[in-house]
Amino acid sequence: MTEQTKAPAPEFRMQKMYIKDLSFENPNAPDIYVAQTEKPPEVEVNLQMNNRQVQPDHYEVTLEITAKISNKDAGKTTCRGLPDLALSFHQTDCQPGLC
């Protein structure tokens, strides 16, 4: 009888997992958390995957995730109990982003 040799089974093991670079910007905080909006935010997500061999049988696989969430309606405010004069001044004399 001849002995049949089996080919080794393919192997995939995650060796290390780490965050190489992380950036988070929230330029409108903390106001953005209390803003009442009428429409949902615009969401854009981009994924990019790359790999490179670092040693025989070892590869670095990178996943770059870029997410942008914006809401042009987020600058709305809530005003209660103010006299009409105060509201009319705010609406007519202030430039967006300055008041």
Per-residue pLDDT 10s for the chain (99 aa) are: 556 788 889 888 888 888 888 888 887 777 777 766 677 778 888 899 999 999 998 999 888 888 887 776 655 556 666 666 555 544 444 444 444
pLDDT at res. 87: 52
The predicted pLDDT at position 52 comes to 93
Tell me the CATH number for domain 15-73: 3.10.420.10
pLDDT of residue 93: 45
pLDDT on residue 76: 54
CB-based contact 22:51 (threshold 8 Å): no
What are the CA-CA distances from residue 42 to residues 31, 64, 89, 90 (Å)? Answer: 18, 20, 31, 28
The Cα–Cα gap between 93 and 51 comes to 55
pTM recorded for the entire structure:
0.50
What pLDDT, on the 0 to 100 scale, is given for residue 92?
Answer: 44
